[in-house]
């Protein structure tokens, strides 16, 4: 039996994502036994910054955190900026915190968490240019390869993917965290 057998993991993104920040965590989740699902405000397929395309499995409008065990938020400037402007994507991100479910976020993916109003009192990392936005949303920002705070896993850049995916798998396997709150 694999570590994540029976777990359903939502990957929330749209066009402009950082390709490796989708593909590496997706592969890690699937290799650990999870079902991975791409959720997006876009329909059909989404395209990454470097041309990787993948089919969308479900729309943000038709999806709830009730449908999944964990959430992964890849980065990419265009992706992150578009998601934070999409009310359904913000609602969905907020729901995962409200239900105490693990959330893994890398690079610019953390931007949506400021809009979802889930960062007060939390510690995380991100791409350095997000520091001010995340601090203004109530977070403590640190410059570390990977940070885990009560089910919230965060990393800075694609260089951190090996550490990020390992901790992501660990937190998803642990399941809900009472400290993961909205």
Residue 109 pairs with which residues in a beta bridge?
none
Greatest alpha-carbon span in the chain: 43
The C-alpha angle 170, 62, 97, rounded to 5 degrees, equals: 35
Give the closest residue to 172 by CA, choosing from 63, 70, 56, 59: 70
Active-site residue (options: 37, 94, 108, 177): 108
The structure tokens 């893994």 sit at 104
Q: What's the chain's Rg over C-alpha atoms?
A: 14
Active-site annotation holds for 50? no
Task: Compute the distance between CA of residue 47 and CA of residue 30 in angstroms, rounded to an integer.
Answer: 20
Q: Which residues lie closer than 8 Å to 27 by C-beta, 6 or more apart?
A: none
Residue numbers annotated as active site: 108
């Amino acid at each position: 039996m694999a570590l994540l057998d029976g777990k359903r993991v939502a990957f929330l993104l749209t066009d402009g994502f950082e390709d490796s920040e989708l593909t590496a965590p997706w592969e890690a989740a699937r290799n650990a036994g999870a079902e991975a699902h791409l959720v997006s405000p876009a329909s059909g397929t989404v395209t990454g910054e470097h041309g990787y395309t993948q089919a969308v499995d479900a729309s943000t409008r038709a999806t709830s955190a009730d449908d999944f065990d964990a959430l992964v938020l890849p980065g990419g400037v265009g992706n992150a900026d578009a998601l934070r402007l999409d009310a359904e994507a913000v609602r969905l991100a907020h729901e995962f915190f409200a239900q105490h479910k693990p959330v893994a976020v890398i690079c610019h993916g953390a931007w949506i968490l400021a809009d979802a109003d889930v960062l007060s009192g939390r510690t995380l990392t991100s791409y350095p240019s997000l520091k001010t936005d995340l601090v203004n949303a109530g977070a403590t920002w640190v410059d570390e390869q990977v940070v885990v705070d009560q089910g919230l896993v965060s990393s800075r850049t694609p260089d951190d993917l090996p550490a990020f995916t390992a901790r992501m798998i660990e937190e998803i396997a642990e399941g809900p965290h009472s400290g993961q709150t909205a």
